[in-house]
Amino acid sequence: MNTKILIEMLEKRSGHAITSAADCEWLALDFTTRCGKVISVNTLKRLLGFLAYDGKSFRQSTLDTIAAYLGFRDWNEAESAAKDKVSAFGHNPAILDADKLTKGDLVTVTYAPDRQIVFEYRNDDRFVVAKSQNSKLHIGDVVAIRQFVLGYPLLVTETLREGRSLGAYTAAKIGGLTTIDCQHKEEL
């Protein structure tokens, strides 16, 4: 199961945000309180990506405990529910397509550890970097981006700096984009 989806499901069930390793301590206590089963803090940290993981499979009993906490019969049922959550037709608010924008729209993205870029849409998947905080992109760079996808890296197919091509660029390789905000020109 996708870690991001699992975290969302755990946050919904617990009513608390899970954004750091410290949150796993509270979550482990909540497991014991709500379903009477103990789960190790370090196991939660590994499962949620806050602690290095050697790639071995988690015990079925551990996965079933998580599923019980989430209100499912077993891990297979929880995985099925997660797949249903990520497979659907229609609008996906986690994806912003460039072809849906109009000239002058601003797209702000953030990603770890403390990076923020504001793009101004021009046309034909082209943007100008209007603001760049702790990023390798510079204000004034012209970039080609087809879409912005929450939780995934930012794929720039071409970067022009002062008229010179720098080629493709990938940002947010680890962890993906954490926020995507679009301000349409008429809202500015």
The set of residues, in sequence order, having a beta carbon less than 8 Å from that of 106 and lying 6+ positions away, is 118, 119, 120, 121, 130, 182, 183, 188
Do 160 and 166 form a contact (C-beta atoms < 8 A)? yes
Report the C-alpha gap between 24 and 92 in whole angstroms.
Answer: 29
Whether 177 contacts 150, CB under 8 Å: yes
Q: What is the pLDDT of residue 101?
A: 94
Same domain? 105 vs 180: yes
Q: Are residues 82 and 100 in the same domain?
A: no
Instruction: Mark whether 67 and 148 lie in a shared domain.
Output: no
pTM: 0.54
* Residue 134: strand, helix, or coil: coil
Do both 48 and 117 map to the same domain? no
pLDDT band for position 166 (cuts 50, 70, 90): very high
Residue 69 and residue 13 in one domain: yes
Task: Report the C-alpha gap between 87 and 106 in whole angstroms.
Answer: 29
* Same-domain check for residues 58 and 119: no
CA 103 to chain centre: 26
Same domain, 175 and 106: yes
Residue 19 CB partners (closer than 8 Å, separation 6+): none
71-106 pLDDT, tens per residue?
A: 888 888 888 877 765 555 555 667 889 988 999 999
Instruction: Tell me what pLDDT residue 181 has.
Output: 92
Same domain, 116 and 80: no
Domain C-terminal end among 86, 104, 133: 86
Over range 139-148, report the average pLDDT.
96
Query: Is 65 found in the same domain as 24?
Result: yes
Q: Taking all residues of the chain, what is their mean pLDDT, rounded to a whole number?
A: 87
Residues 74 and 120 in one domain: no
Cα dihedral angle (15, 19, 23, 24), rounded to 10 degrees?
A: 100
Is residue 125 domain-shared with residue 166, that is, in the same domain?
Answer: yes
Confidence of residue 140 (pLDDT cuts 50, 70, 90): very high
Q: Which pLDDT score, from 0 to 100, does residue 9 have?
A: 86
Total count of domains within the chain:
2
Regarding whether 99 and 75 lie in a shared domain, the answer is no
| Domain assignment of residue 141, given as a range | 95-187
Token pair listed for 132:
């760049």
Is residue 138 scored above 70 in pLDDT? yes
Radius of gyration of the chain (CA): 20
